[in-house]
Amino acid sequence: MDAIEAISILLVDDREEGLVALEAVLDSPSYNLVKASSGQEALKHLLEQDFALILMDVQMPEMDGFQTAEIIKKRPKSKDIPIIFITAINKDEQYVLSGYKSGAVDYLFKPFDPSVLKSKVAVFVELYKQNKELKRQAEVIRESERVNRERALAQLEIENLRRYQSLADAIPHAVWRSKADGTLDYFNKVWCTYTGLTFEQSLGNGWQYALHPYCLKKVLEHWNKAMQDGLDFEVICQIRRAKDQNYRWNIFRAVAERRNSGQIAAWIGTFTDIHDQKLAEETLNQNRIALQQAVEARDEFLSIASHELKTPLTSLKLQLQLLHRKARSNSQEALSNPAVAQKLEAIDKQVLRLTALIESLLDVARIQNQKLQFDFELVDLSALVSDVSARFLDEIKSTGSILRVEVPDSATGVWDKLRLEQVLSNLLSNAVKYGGNGPIDVKLTVDEHNATLIVADRGIGISEENKSRIFQRFERLRSATNVGGLGLGLYIVHQIVEGHNGIIQVESELDRGSTFIITLPRRLDRLSERAPAHPQPETSSGPSARSALVAS
């Protein structure tokens, strides 16, 4: 059982007999009677301890009871302590009133009745006790509310953590958490399954065993720096996968979790397996490089092969020309035989075709190296179209088809004559190849600015989706596989037309034939603008003659 705490009562009187009288009346183990023989001494006691009641004599030298009471009531610590004044002299109303004003709750006049004093003191002591008990209960309530609040918060935190961990377990990445100082204290299930390390094994520095030794240094450097700077980071590293014991590429990411104050509360991190993407990316890069190399090798081949093939052909052509000359001069009996001459002509044709083929290859190589050059001069396109068309007449006739050519008297412009011959030859040769023996029409028109050349056939035609493809390198449509060709003609034609600032279009429908329309600007000023982009070679016609034309 708790010892009953004695209640302190302050007795103030300058006269010893007064104090003794009070003490005699109030003597009880329930009271702790503290005596003061002056106002000052009373104030000193009040600073040191708590009292339930003050019994104070009014008449005291230096500081009387009223003055002392006023100071007591001003002090927060003592302002609520009830004061009973004890006086022997003044009982008049005015005097009593000033006592109440200075803070008295009651008066006792000497000689006092001990039982009255006792019961009054008992009332105040009881009040004091009740007050104290109320305060204690209020404190108990406050404390239990605080404990409940803290318990609820802790519960909430546990629930949050549980929810956070189930979330972390649900995602397909390895998730970890560390304290603000970098000590790892949580790993999700994915991490444990992936690395084969248990939760306990991963704690502390255990997680580092899953990392490739070669990556570990780099990862720790990042990690230590993040601890210092408080900055999030991301680093790629290799982690051993328990399933196959292979080290796989992962992104190791760490993000600081901050309190409202900005202070780091923890670090949350993830390991994401990017191994397959990384390998795919590497393969893609390798393929890209291989493709690039293949393209370069092919272009190089084209250039070399063309040159290599052209040389023997030149000499072959020369020999054939000699034979022709001899055959025509009848210098030898055998060579005058018409059958021999016919054969030689056929050989010559083949040589021409081979030469054209090789020229195409050379042109492609030149286009690739941006070295396709133009030799601009004043050209009459009407004459050129008539000439080139005439060269195809026999061939077209032999297929049972017809060629209709419609040209104005003259259509002059500043163009590259040989290149435009090449354009028309290609279009006509295609019209023969893919024209299905139907009639072929060539039409040239001219206005102030442009010349327009149209080559139309009634053959197999080109589907809508293939129209743009046919102008690309090595592009041949499936319908053309039984006909000879490299898929270069239209590519070169397109490049030549563009080199003239012209436009090439194709109108076609499957099985209804194809119409190629080329529009070439005639104007000299436009050509002079193009001159720097297509430097002109020094040819036998002489640079001065050509520049005179460009400038005129």
Binding residues for ligand ADP, rule: CB under 6 A, are 426, 430-431, 434, 457, 459-462, 470, 475-477, 479-480, 485-491, 514
Closest separation between CB of residue 324 and ligand ADP, Å? 29
Q: Name which of 170 and 510 has its Cβ closer to ligand ADP.
A: 510
Q: Name which of 459 and 521 has its Cβ closer to ligand ADP.
A: 459
Closest separation between CB of residue 548 and ligand ADP, Å? 35
Three-class secondary structure of residue 95 per DSSP: helix
The pair of structure tokens assigned to 168 is 């972390």
Looking up tokens 């790993």, which residue turns up? Answer: 187
Strand spans (E) along 319-375: none
Q: Name which of 36 and 364 has its Cβ closer to ligand ADP.
A: 364
Q: Name which of 253 and 443 has its Cβ closer to ligand ADP.
A: 443
Instruction: List Cβ neighbours of 460 (8 Å cut-off, separation of 6 or more).
Output: 434, 436, 479, 510, 511
By beta carbon distance, the residue nearest ligand ADP is 485
Angle at 422 between CA 416 and CA 423, to 5 degrees: 90
Q: Name which of 249 and 491 has its Cβ closer to ligand ADP.
A: 491
The pair of structure tokens assigned to 66 is 């009223």
Closest separation between CB of residue 551 and ligand ADP, Å? 35
The pair of structure tokens assigned to 407 is 């040209």
Closest separation between CB of residue 321 and ligand ADP, Å? 28
d(CA 359, CA 70): 125
Closest separation between CB of residue 466 and ligand ADP, Å? 8
CB 486 within 8 Å of CB 474: yes
Closest separation between CB of residue 167 and ligand ADP, Å? 60
Instruction: Count other C-beta atoms under 10 Å from residue 5's C-beta.
Output: 10
Q: Name which of 359 and 475 has its Cβ closer to ligand ADP.
A: 475
Strand spans (E) along 163-306: 174-179, 184-187, 233-241, 246-258, 264-273
Closest separation between CB of residue 436 and ligand ADP, Å? 9
Angle at 24 between CA 18 and CA 27, to 5 degrees: 130
Closest separation between CB of residue 470 and ligand ADP, Å? 4
Q: Which residues are registered as beta bridge partners of 238? A: 249
Strand spans (E) along 403-479: 403-406, 412-416, 440-446, 450-456
d(CA 46, CA 32): 14
Q: Name which of 380 and 475 has its Cβ closer to ligand ADP.
A: 475
Closest separation between CB of residue 458 and ligand ADP, Å? 10
CB 456 within 8 Å of CB 328: no
The pair of structure tokens assigned to 148 is 């409940």
Q: Identify the sign of the CA torsion 525, 526, 531, 533.
A: positive
Q: Name which of 18 and 489 has its Cβ closer to ligand ADP.
A: 489
CA 479 to chain centre: 46
Q: Name which of 165 and 479 has its Cβ closer to ligand ADP.
A: 479
Alpha helices in 75-113 (DSSP H): 93-101
